[in-house]
Amino acid sequence: MSFFLTDEQEDALNLFLDEQNKKVCETQLESETLPDDLKNIIRKTVEAGSPIPAFDPKVGYYSISFTPTEDGNRIYAHHHLSEVSYAICDPLQQVVQEEAEEETLVSETEVIPDDITFVEDKYTESAIDEVDLMTGKIPDLTPQQIESAFGGPPKELLEELGLESAPSFEYQN
């Protein structure tokens, strides 16, 4: 079984390798442990515009993986010296991205009425959640209206505060 890169995929691989090689070369040139003669070789490749880091030629410095799927090959490059992987082509990422774009389009097309009128005794948790919170508006509620719409504070909180019941409030408008 053979796998090949298209011209566009090969260009993407080369850009990825150049970017990672440049980072690794900078790190290697700052290294205290790398011999000067090896640093000179690295420096010359950087100056020539094609940075090549020092690596063990027996194992190489990058690998490419091809994973066949029903939607096409997932092709990844992995730079062993920088420990960075890059998706040259991944049909799965394209599907996930398309789904995310569809969700964004749906949420952007939701219509929220501009003028919403609340009747004082009609405040409900669902009305507040669905309308005010979605529009970023907080209705002007008295503590009594908040308690009737949502209930009082949780018993655990009252116990933690050392209270037997919620304090009563005198609301003045």
In what helix (H) or strand (E) does residue 138 lie, and over which residues does it extend? Answer: none
The residue out of 51, 74, 90 marking a domain boundary is 90
Instruction: Give the predicted TM-score (pTM) of the model.
Output: 0.53
Higher pLDDT, 161 or 80: 80
Q: pLDDT class for 123, splitting at 50, 70, 90?
A: very low
Domain that holds residue 143: 120-161
Residue 88: count of CB within 10 angstroms of its CB? 21
SS3 114: coil
How high is the pLDDT of residue 161? 78
Give the end-to-end CA distance of the chain in Å, rounded to a whole number.
79
87 exposure class (CB count in 10 Å sphere: 0-12, 13-18, 19+): middle
Q: Count how many domains the chain has.
A: 2
Q: How far apart are the C-alpha atoms of 61 and 56, rounded to whole Å?
A: 7
Q: Tens digit of pLDDT for each residue in 36-87?
A: 999 999 999 999 999 999 998 998 999 999 998 888 889 999 999 999 999 9
111 lies in some domain: no
Residue 113 falls inside a structural domain: no
Output the pLDDT for position 138.
Answer: 61
Q: What is the DSSP letter of 38?
A: H
Mean pLDDT score, 120-146: 56
